[in-house]
């Protein structure tokens, strides 16, 4: 589709400077380049024409009105930790960085809610609420991300098994439409039934419908105790099989992560820390939380029985903060350990959790069939697995020829098992071609119509999710 956008002229720059101030309009080529990519394993050659850093909702509103009037594309950006080129300004234009909107406005201890600006860093929010004995459980592993970005992708992560994903913790949003109008959706209410839920429509819309500027988030009480089980298995299949059996128990762990040995070794090297066990081919990392130690260990025992009956080599337990954080710190660098040292891609499939052992088998089959190495790990407890085809040992030609086939096959197999093409990373630019695997034409048509209503000029993060 041909895009009829206008360039950012000197006149537009002048207007932008008038809105946010001289120092918050960046035109230096190097700086713009830094803002024009995210952490997708395979990036795009695209750069914005200008980076603009508003401080408040009014400024966001003025910028969008201006861009809408001048037909200039605007790409909202959080911390750029996305994995699908979702924050990459593929049509140039304005890169709207929300980094200065980073205030935690309120922590409402009476209602267990937090009101934050979109540029608040997730780890900052977590620390701030934990200091008050509260907990914001939506945790996409990458905690340097912004809350705004978490909302844009409906980020999931480690705690999904027990606590769900970002969407489950958003009670209200302030969002700016491309025409500059400000929507206040939801609020400090737990229940709400008033027509179409535009707030939930905006969550997960990857900045294509409106720019989220503020959010009201639900908090819960911080569980008093956490323990982590580190469970070695001699193969991925047995580990995956244990997961589906654990989920059938009345125990609900906070997190159940599945990983193969090679990923752990690379993550250890990257971080310079060591896991407590190395000799097994696959591992489950299970976190259990609660308030009563007796109950917690009872749950741990139940989980342990299941693992051992599925041939776990042993069940190790970490209960101090330090020893647990070594494990989870290593866990948090799996992604970069795989992609930063070599060429690799990533599949973010989510399947029914009980189908995980089957999917693991199929991944292995695909790897053998195409002769492409594949490393996997993921949030097995909620059926979300990250599968990395890896270039190791292949020539450029072979890689370029095989990768698209392998990717398509991995997604199709997920779909065949009742799964979806993105569990938590979103579609962005990169996964547009896989969306039709899962969504039928009518669903995509409705999405496109919705996009038109919110953004008739298609200036907001164009080229993402689908071509409008």
Collapsing DSSP to helix, strand or coil, 65 comes out as helix
Residues 264-283 that bind other proteins (CB under 8 A): 274, 276-277
Residues facing 197 on adjacent strands:
none
Backbone angles phi, psi at 127, to 5 degrees: -60, -45
Question: Exactly one of 11, 22, 322, 396 binds other proteins (CB under 8 A); which one?
Answer: 322
* Binding-residue pattern over the window 217 to 256 for other proteins, x denoting contact by CB under 8 A: ------------xx--------------------------
By the 10 Å C-beta count (0-12 exposed, 13-18 middle, 19+ buried), 442 is classed as exposed
Specify the stretch interacting with other proteins by CB under 8 A; choose among 142-150, 315-323, 340-348, 412-420.
315-323
Q: Is 304 in the site for other proteins (CB under 8 A)?
A: yes
Q: What are phi and psi of 274, to 5 degrees?
A: -120, 140
Measured from the CB atom, the residue of 267 and 374 that comes closer to other proteins is 267
Q: Is 183 helix (H, G, I), strand (E, B) or coil?
A: strand
Sequence-distant (6+) residues with CB within 8 A of 340 are 270
Using rule CB under 8 A, residue 301 touches other proteins:
yes
Here the tokens at position 344 are 């690799």
Which range of residues in 97-105, 310-318, 329-337, 436-444 is near other proteins by CB under 8 A? 310-318
Of 120-128, 254-262, 318-326, 355-363: span binding other proteins (CB under 8 A): 318-326
* Selected binder of other proteins within 314, 392, 401, 449 (CB under 8 A): 314
Of the ranges 106-114, 204-212, 312-320, 446-454, which one interacts with other proteins (CB under 8 A)? Answer: 312-320
User: Shortest approach of other proteins to residue 261 CB, angstroms?
Assistant: 16
Question: Taking Cα atoms as reference points, which of 419, 211, 455 lies closest to residue 447?
Answer: 455
| Gap between the Cα atoms of 212 and 51, Å rounded | 17
DSSP 420-439: BSBSSS--TTTTGGGHHHHS
Give least dist CB 80 to other proteins, A.
Answer: 24
Specify the residue, 320 or 400, whose C-beta has the smaller distance to other proteins: 320
Q: How far is the CB of 97 from other proteins (least distance, A)?
A: 22
Question: Taking a C-beta distance cutoff of 8 angstroms, is the pair 175, 185 a contact?
Answer: yes
Residue 288 engages other proteins in binding (rule: CB under 8 A): no
CA distance 124 to 105: 13
Asked if 297 is part of the footprint of other proteins (rule: CB under 8 A), the reply reads: yes
Residue placing its CB nearer to other proteins in the complex, 274 or 452: 274
Q: Do 56 and 83 contact (CB within 8 A), yes or no?
A: no
Q: Does 132 bind other proteins (CB under 8 A)?
A: no
Query: Taking the complex as a whole, how short is the minimal distance between the CB of residue 304 and other proteins, in angstroms?
Result: 5
Q: Look at phi and psi of residue 80 and say left if phi exceeds 0, alpha if psi is from -120 to 50, else beta.
A: left
Closer of 297 and 328 to other proteins (Cβ): 297
Token pair for residue 127? Answer: 């620390």
Tell me: does residue 317 bind other proteins (CB under 8 A).
yes
Residues that bind other proteins (CB under 8 A): 229-230, 274, 276-277, 297, 300-301, 304, 314-323
């Amino acid at each position: 589709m041909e895009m009829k956008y206008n360039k950012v002229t000197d006149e537009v720059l002048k207007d932008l400077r008038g809105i946010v101030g001289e120092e918050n309009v960046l035109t230096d080529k190097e700086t713009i380049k830094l803002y024009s990519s995210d952490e997708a394993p395979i990036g795009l050659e695209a750069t914005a024409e200008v980076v603009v850093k508003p401080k408040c909702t009014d400024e966001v509103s003025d910028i969008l009105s201006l861009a809408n009037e001048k037909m200039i594309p605007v790409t909202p950006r959080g911390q750029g930790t996305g994995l699908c080129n979702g924050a990459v300004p593929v049509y140039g234009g304005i890169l709207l960085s929300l980094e200065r909107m980073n205030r935690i406005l309120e922590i409402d201890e009476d209602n267990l809610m937090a009101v934050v600006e979109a540029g608040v860093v997730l780890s900052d929010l977590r620390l701030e609420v934990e200091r008050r004995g509260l907990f914001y459980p939506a945790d996409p592993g990458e905690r340097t991300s912004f809350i705004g970005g978490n909302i844009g992708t409906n980020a999931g992560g480690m705690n999904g098994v027990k606590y769900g994903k970002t969407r489950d913790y958003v009670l209200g949003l302030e969002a700016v439409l491309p025409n500059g109008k400000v929507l206040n959706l939801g609020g400090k209410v737990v229940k709400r039934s008033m027509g179409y839920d535009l707030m939930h429509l905006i969550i997960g819309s990857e900045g294509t419908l409106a720019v989220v500027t503020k959010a009201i988030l639900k908090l819960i009480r911080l569980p008093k105790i956490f323990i982590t089980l580190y469970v070695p298995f001699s193969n991925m299949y047995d580990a995956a099989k244990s997961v589906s059996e654990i989920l059938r128990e009345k125990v609900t762990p906070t997190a159940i992560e599945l990983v193969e040995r090679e990923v752990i070794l690379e993550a250890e090297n990257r971080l310079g820390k060591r896991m407590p066990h190395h000799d097994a081919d696959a591992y489950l990392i299970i976190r259990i939380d609660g308030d009563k130690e007796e109950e917690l260990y009872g749950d741990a025992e139940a989980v342990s029985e299941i693992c051992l009956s599925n041939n776990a080599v042993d069940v190790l337990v970490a209960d101090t903060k330090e020893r647990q954080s070594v494990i989870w710190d290593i866990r948090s660098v799996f992604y970069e350990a795989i992609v930063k040292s070599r060429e690799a891609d990533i599949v973010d499939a989510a399947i029914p959790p009980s189908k995980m052992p089957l999917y693991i088998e199929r991944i292995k089959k695909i790897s053998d069939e195409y002769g492409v190495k594949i490393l996997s790990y993921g949030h097995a407890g909620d059926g979300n697995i990250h599968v990395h085809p890896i270039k190791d040992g292949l020539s450029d030609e072979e890689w370029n020829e095989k990768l698209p086939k392998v990717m398509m096959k991995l997604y199709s197999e997920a779909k065949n098992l009742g799964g979806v093409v993105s569990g938590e990373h979103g579609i962005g630019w990169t996964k547009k071609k896989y969306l039709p695997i899962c969504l039928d034409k009518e669903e995509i048509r409705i999405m496109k119509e919705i996009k038109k209503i919110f953004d008739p000029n298609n200036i907001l993060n164009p080229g993402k999710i689908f071509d409008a």
